[in-house]
Amino acid sequence: MHPKIAFSEDVGLTMARNELQRWYLEHERPLPWREQPAPYGTWLCEVIMQQTRIDQGTAYWERFMHRWPNFQSLADASVDEVLKEWQGLGYYSRARNLHKTAQIICDEYPQGHPTELNQWLALPGVGAYTAAAICSICFGTPVAAVDGNVLRVLSRFLGIHEPIDRPSGRKPLEAFAEAWVDPKHPGRHNQALMELGALICTPHAPDCAHCPLQKECTSSFMPHKKGSMPPFKQGKTKVQDVALHFHVIHQNGRILMQQRPDHGIWGGLWTFPSSEAPWEGSINNDVIPEPLDQCLIARGPCGTSVKHLLSHRRFHVQFWLWSCPEDCTLEMGEWHRWDSAELLALPRVLESSWEDVKNSASQKESKTNA
């Protein structure tokens, strides 16, 4: 075990903790949820900011707060409204859990909200980090909130070379974080560590000269060459290439839209009906995929092919236009006009390609009807 991990109010580490908080009070960014921290706004912030840049996430947080300023108003919204407002943030299970959690809180805590760590941990989509952040910031619970920024800061501070994506590396860091959290100001301490990781102890160019932890940091005098400084990871999951075909099926000016199941990618969102195929290494607009129904008439490629990267899959997306005769009944979705379909909650890959696909489909339909 690293000697610092077993500390019991070590003088140097206590001084470093105090320096960290002094630095934070001087340099913290004026983010809106920090002005008057409250459980609803803090919870909303922590959920939105997962896998999201602070500048992008702030705009979403402000829109959500304006439209649904408390648990009850969010609980009263429809899940489709929440998904639509979430559009563009990705990882849509977060939005569904956000809505579900608001409903649970309103049902089970009619006088307000949970105040205990275990109560927050029992809610959908609330993990150890989110629960700790809410409880330390809003209720003064002395618990460490350990996210990616904190793991990076502490792995460098302690000189941990074990991979942080494995228990051998992560558990010592979590143990130290719990021991080091300031019992008097846990929320400030947690936010200071996160802020340090965002502003100073960055992934690729740490500014060690201006770091409040420099004197006690094991890595502050290490060469800052790529790959030479913690954190280390055992390895990334290989990304799989997949050909994804979106079938733009039209009938009398309407298009067929399909709501995806809650589980899986784009859960609960609306897309064109789709099919997948092995990726052959290049786009071929001459090879039309199998029709989803034998009554459909192929009209060829539609719009521009695009790439869309998820965590473990790289989609090579093609759009195909199909005509559906009036006497053909399809039970794989709902018919919408283009303008009403655009109001549905769409994944980013469709949102960004919507106008291109719509214009291409309209031109092909006009030629077909001429």
**Sign of the torsion angle spanned by Cα atoms 152, 154, 157, 161:** negative
Tell me the Ramachandran region of residue 235: left when phi exceeds 0, alpha when psi lies from -120 to 50, beta otherwise.
left
Q: Which of 19, 46, 81, 280 is catalytic?
A: 46
Rounded Cα gap, residues 344 and 24, in angstroms: 42
Question: Do residues 299 and 322 lie in contact, with contact meaning Cβ atoms separated by under 8 Å?
Answer: yes
User: Does 46 participate in catalysis according to the annotation?
Assistant: yes
Rounded Cα gap, residues 354 and 350, in angstroms: 6
Residues annotated catalytic, as ranges:
46
